[in-house]
Amino acid sequence: MVRNQIIDLLKKAAGDDAMADILVPEIEALGHYSTNVAMRLAKAQGKKPMDLAGEITEKLRASAPAGTFEKIKTAAPGFINFWLSKETIQKEFEAIVGDRSFGLNETMKGKMVMVEYTDPNPFKLFHIGHLMTNTIGESFARLYEATGAKVRRANYYGDVGLHIAKSVWGMKQLASETPRENESPVKKVDFLGKAYACGSRAYEEKAEAKEEIVAINKKIYERSDEAINKLYDAGLAWSLAYFETVYKRLGTKFDDYFPESTIGDEGLALVRSRTDIFKESDGAVIFPGEQYGLHTRVFVNSQGLPTYEAKELGLNKKKFEMYPLNLSIIVTANEINEYFKVLLKAMELVLPEVAAKTRHASHGMLRLPSGKMSSRTGNITTADSLLGDIKAKLTEHVSEKSDLDASEREAVTEIIAVGAIKYSILKQAPGQDIVFDFEKSLSVHGDSGPYLQYTYARLKSILRKSKVSTEGGSASGGENPKSKASPESLDSETELALMRKLFDFPDIVANAGKRLAPNLLATYLHQLAMVANHFYESTPILKDENTERMNARLSLVETVARILKSGLNLLGIRSPEKI
């Protein structure tokens, strides 16, 4: 690709060790590509950046293959800007037309990555916070798959603990409202959410209820009470079955599930075996974080039971025992960043090989304009309810006058609704909080998932009308007219701009994965869609009387559609063929 060619030319002109950013200026007046190499090298060479930029530019002009660049110029305070020639743009485009793997790379080929995300607790509702973690974690997994890595998706859930005891206590109190076995998963988890809110309030407000819940918690651990076991088993099964329906809607299929109950003993043994690191304090076992500039946390409580911290140690040890992982990523909300700092420090001391390959990736909170949620009080927005609200607002966009039947309209509306919430999350840098804006997120004209999906569907509509198949053949079974297409006929500025935009896709994908920043890809796809929209709104395609140019334009339409779909897929967003 051109970017790599520029890097090679810079090494020859400025030295093999010249490190430089290859930028894509937002304004074409600053070039198609730009580099700051002169500013990076100037001080070490005792030269002014502009003087050094001029020297390097002269060498570049002399060494660049004839016809590659339209021009190479310097700009203050020391940039070197490149403009590609029309012939280079056409040649580069021709190379990617038939490249079905365009955008993928093999930087992680032969390596294994585990991404742990979502992690909803049974007996609680799957709320919009889980929706955010799932969306971000799934995009991380797909971006790593794009690098050639073998990715395992992991889900760690709390199947034991006080929150479950509160739910089971609530189930007993609300026994008359218990859903029948043949009722929907949604009805069952709604009941569990109500039971948890009931138990949580009672635990805080009534001493007698608190004692009962503590006793239930012990019985759940011991499996010592048949009636409690029955309630627990039913609630756990309902929760896990329901979670699977949500994962299916979101396009996630987990490879590994880690119940909290299965790793407690291992975590406890780890802590107990390292008395040089963990210290006894008031009957508990702590990690003295202050010694490392952190805060102290309890790893074994005064009852001798492992806390979340100890269980996390056991969990991460187990991950690396099960698989030869090169990297383990844990995705959570940033409200537990300080917790993870302590955990990772303890892991570094106890399991140094595991810690060296473990990365915590945190994200901000997803909120609605109504404010913060609380599962304790029952004031919570579930993923299902949010998606339902989005679908209700989308009905006006999926026209009943289209050639979709009722079931197809329902399927398309579902795809757009999921895409709208996912894109609204992923277009922001992962660390930022997000207030979901219905109007902006559902707009078909702005920076939104529906805008990208509509752009893709419109491109596909052009191809259907032209009888060109996306698989490279004619929809009517005849010869593919694109086979006669020549990119040399694509020479308008609009066409050249769209082709140039395609060239950036591989680097965007690579950077988004390397930096765990899917927002880079989201931003690129929005920019690509805007250029594509300008192209087909200003350029006659099917009405072009020049057959060769029409076929070349159809080739461009198909390539843009393919890359849009590929990029959206990396974000976990589906692309409907018709809307």
Give me the residue spans of the domains in the chain.
Answer: 2-84, 398-430+438-570
Q: Cβ contacts of residue 502 below 8 Å, gap of 6+?
A: 93, 96, 528, 559, 560, 563
pLDDT at 370: 65
Are 478 and 544 in contact by the 8 Å Cβ rule? The answer is no
Are 341 and 294 in contact by the 8 Å Cβ rule? The answer is yes
Q: Does domain 2-84 have CATH number 3.30.70.260?
A: no
What does the H/E/C string look like for 66-103? CCCEEEEEEECCCEEEEEECHHHHHHHHHHHHCCCCCC
Task: Divide the 579 residues of the chain into consecutive groups of 10 and give the mean pLDDT of each group.
Answer: 89 80 88 94 93 96 95 96 97 92 95 97 91 97 98 96 95 96 92 94 96 95 95 97 96 97 94 96 96 97 92 97 98 96 98 98 87 49 90 74 81 95 94 88 91 96 76 41 71 96 96 96 98 95 92 96 98 95
Q: Are strands 69-75 and 79-84 parallel, antiparallel or unpaired?
A: antiparallel
pLDDT at 469: 41
d(CA 66, CA 54): 20
pLDDT at 375: 43
Nearest CA to 263 out of 329, 327, 322 is that of 322
Global pTM reads 0.91
State the architecture of 398-430+438-570 in CATH terms: Orthogonal Bundle (1.10)
Rounded to an integer, what is the distance from CA 114 to the centroid of its chain?
Answer: 14
